[in-house]
Structure 1
Amino acid sequence: MKKYVFPLMLLGTTVVMSCGNGGNKESETDTTTTVTTTDTSTLADNTVTTGTTYSSTPLIGADTTFVKEAASGSLMEIESGKLAQQIAINPRVKSLGEMMVRDHSKLYDELKSLASAKNLMLSDSLSKKSKDHLEAMRKMTGKDFDKHYPEMMVKDHTEDVRKFEKASNSANDSDLKGWVDKTLPVLKVHLDSAKAINQSKM
């Protein structure tokens, strides 16, 4: 029986090598470059990680402008949200600020990943206008801040929703459109939350 072992081993080796070589045909014809990023979201105590694949096709025209404006807007929401947690007296205003920091930090990271895949560098600095606004907010008393911040969030997110709805219909890049469509419901929740606080008697 032992004399049959060696031929069988050779046959097995031949089959494995043939399978390995058969996969090279795809790489010869596939010229599309993709970049995979990791999107991590936490639900209760369970962390769910999913991979997001973006093409390396560069953004053009209005798509580039939109991404830069969206990134700048998220940075402002993050910093003003941090101030809300520090200065606000009303717990609902503090909670609104906490939600803005949490959600916009995630959205900003997602947008940076998308932009990086497209070879677009985003600034991580606030504009002078935003810096001046934040400085004015730092000088507000708790009650004044509680009035100003929800009003600001209503104004900002009304404009954000309008711009994102427009981008959803006009974006040329499919990756960007997908991100916009996923983000738009989040912004609408922010707007509704800010409106509810703004309309309540605090």
Structure 2
Amino acid sequence: MKKIVYVGALVGTLCWATACENNSRSDDSVENAEEMNEQAMDMGESEDEDMAEFMVEAANGGLMEVELGRIAAEKATNPQVKEFGQMMVDNHSKANDKLKTLASQKGITLPTSVGEEHQKEINRLTELSGEEFDREYVKLMVKDHKADIDEFQEATDEVEDPDVKAFASQTLPTLQRHLQRAEQIEDSIENQS
């Protein structure tokens, strides 16, 4: 009988300790991925910090593009914006899948959901409707794709791993087309006002 009580107490203590540890972790998937990658580098499992940072940021941005694209495809009133949103879902889902495969091969942990900053943008846009949503979504896509292009260009120049470098350079033309299309839609919306 004493053994059962001791085992029960031990199991209860372990469950409590695990729950406390989980509560102390950040809910931000991006931060969690960054922490896991830092630990892997400290243990010698991964060597290229620039590569890990790039992959985490690319995944975070890709997740936001897909989520906002879904919202735009459903919520936008302008047919061009709806079409652009669907293109974001299609293209960034493919890129995200390639990135996941690559990260798995390289031992890099990627976020499974958008980080806090991107979630704030998603929440902000979700509250908008009509022409205001269309305008703000396209404005964000222009800004975000400019940043993405800079990030991917930097990766092609600075990341040492040839596979990750190839992913960045092969994805760049798609991001440039997205930016060009977003700017065209932005101009079209401004001319309608």
* 2: CA distance, partners of 1:120 / 1:152: 28
2:74 equivalent to 1:86: yes
Aligned to 1:170: 158
Partner of 1:47: none
Runs of 4+ in 1 over 3 A off after TM superposition: none
The AA in structure 1 aligned to 2:96 is Y
Structure 1 unaligned spans of 5+: 1-56
CA-CA distance at 1:165 after TM superposition: 1.0
Conserved 8 A contact 1:82-1:98: yes
Query: Match of 1:142?
Result: 130
Aligned counterparts of 1:172 and 1:183: Cα–Cα separation in 2: 17
Q: In the alignment, residue 139 of structure 2 is paired with which amino acid?
A: E
Give the TM-score taking structure 2 as reference length: 0.73
Q: 1:59 to 1:109 in 2, by over 3 A?
A: farther
Task: Report if the CA contact (8 A) 1:167-1:177 is conserved.
Answer: yes
> What residue in structure 1 maps to residue 59 of structure 2?
71
Q: Which amino acid aligns with 2:174?
A: V
CA distance in 1, matches of 2:148, 2:120: 20
2:95 match: secondary structure: helix
Aligned length: 146
Question: Which of 65, 75, 83 is residue 95 of structure 1 equivalent to?
Answer: 83
- 5+ residue gaps, structure 2, are 1-44
2:99 aligned residue: 111
RMSD (Å) for aligned C-alpha atoms = 1.3
Q: Percent identity?
A: 38
Shift of 1:125: 1.3
Which has more strand, going by share of residues?
1
Query: Do structure 1's residue 186 and structure 2's residue 174 form an aligned pair?
Result: yes
How far apart are the structure 2 equivalents of 1:118 and 1:62? Answer: 13
Q: Displacement of 1:181 after TM fit? A: 1.0
Aligned counterpart, 1:37? none
Tell me which moved more, 135-144 or 87-96: 135-144
Query: CA separation in 2, counterparts of 1:191 and 1:133?
Result: 18
Match of residue 114, structure 2, among 103, 123, 126? 126
Name the TM-score, length of structure 1 as normaliser: 0.70
Q: Which has the higher contact order (CA 8 A, sep 6+)?
A: 2
Structure of larger gyration radius = 1
What amino acid sits opposite 1:63 in the alignment? Answer: M
